[in-house]
Amino acid sequence: MALFNPDDPFAAIARSLGNQNGELETVEKGLAVAVELIDGCHHAGVSMVRAGQRIETPAATSDVAMRGDQLQYELHEGPCLDAVKTQETILCPDLLHEQRWATWAPKVAHELNVRSMMCLQLFTTARSFGALNLYSESLDAFDQQDQALGLALAAHIAVALASSREIDTREIAIISRTVIGQAEGILMERYDLTPDKAFSVLRRVSQETQTKLVIVATDLVRTRRLPPHRPD
């Protein structure tokens, strides 16, 4: 089975996000996909840092996600703020017993009926920061499969936003680097390759399929599909 499957739903997502007519449409499409594909995700939003370090949520799937994000900005604490600049993935399995954000967490749990959350960094550059914020009304809603899907989707959104915002894709740091590293690890373990050889495999598939390297990597991490023959 091919590493990159053009019929895979994430391939369709990549094409769809790449065809949007601007940043807002790109973000809205990505959020709709998150709610549809990730089990337990009831609401989604995106945090973006604008010029002058002003942070806002340009799009959300519901008032719950918008308010959850806004409370973080008002209280100056929360997983979205941490994910924007410092961590690639933040999980909050039980907001009622969360110690990291002592004011924000119980307020969101009681006022918005949000019980758990996952935030994923979209990209971090010298000029731009972003995070994908997934809210759930269920306790401990996001498992390892959901994390893999979230990382893959965040990578897709990051690449699409990089294009719409004219961000040099070499500056998309955390998500792309992490996903590519995970894909290299899979190839290294399965085929007993060196890191350089594993990266060469990813780059070759990227070139042969005319698919961005980070998309090839996310497809491999998500599906564990490997090339049909052992790499040379």
Token duo for residue 219: 């497809």
User: The tokens 């499969």 sit on which residue?
Assistant: 145
Q: What is the pLDDT of residue 5?
A: 46
Q: What is the pLDDT of residue 14?
A: 54
> Using CA atoms, how far apart are residues 159 and 215, in angstroms rounded to an integer?
9
The answer to whether residue 36 scores a pLDDT higher than 80 is yes
Q: What is the pLDDT of residue 66?
A: 97
- Report residue 95 CA to chain centroid gap: 21
Contacts of 108 (CB under 8 A, 6+ apart): 68, 71, 95, 114
Residue 30 or residue 124, greater confidence: 30
> Using CA atoms, how far apart are residues 198 and 67, in angstroms rounded to an integer?
43
Residue 49 or residue 67, greater confidence: 67
The answer to whether residue 62 scores a pLDDT higher than 90 is yes
Contacts of 64 (CB under 8 A, 6+ apart): 42, 43, 112, 113, 114, 135
State the CB neighbour count (10 A cutoff) for residue 203: 13
Q: What is the pLDDT of residue 127?
A: 58
Contacts of 94 (CB under 8 A, 6+ apart): 115, 116, 139, 140
The whole-chain average pLDDT of the chain stands at 79
Share of the chain above pLDDT 90, in %: 31
The answer to whether residue 58 scores a pLDDT higher than 60 is yes
Q: What is the pLDDT of residue 201?
A: 86
pLDDT in tens, 191-231: 888 877 888 888 888 888 777 777 788 778 777 776 554 44
> Using CA atoms, how far apart are residues 28 and 61, in angstroms rounded to an integer?
8
Pairing of strands 89-92, 116-124: antiparallel
> Using CA atoms, how far apart are residues 39 and 149, in angstroms rounded to an integer?
10
Count of alpha carbons within 13 Å of 152, Cβ hemisphere only? 28
The answer to whether residue 78 scores a pLDDT higher than 70 is yes
Share of the chain above pLDDT 70, in %: 75
Residue 217 or residue 176, greater confidence: 217
pTM: 0.68
Residue 49, H or E segment: strand 43-49
pLDDT band with cut points at 50, 70 and 90 for residue 6: very low
The answer to whether residue 158 scores a pLDDT higher than 70 is yes
Q: What is the pLDDT of residue 229?
A: 45
Count of alpha carbons within 13 Å of 56, Cβ hemisphere only? 8
Please provide the DSSP assignment of 83-96 as one string. Answer: HHHT-SEEEES-GG
Domains of the chain (ranges, CATH numbers): 23-166 (3.30.450.40), 177-223 (1.10.10)
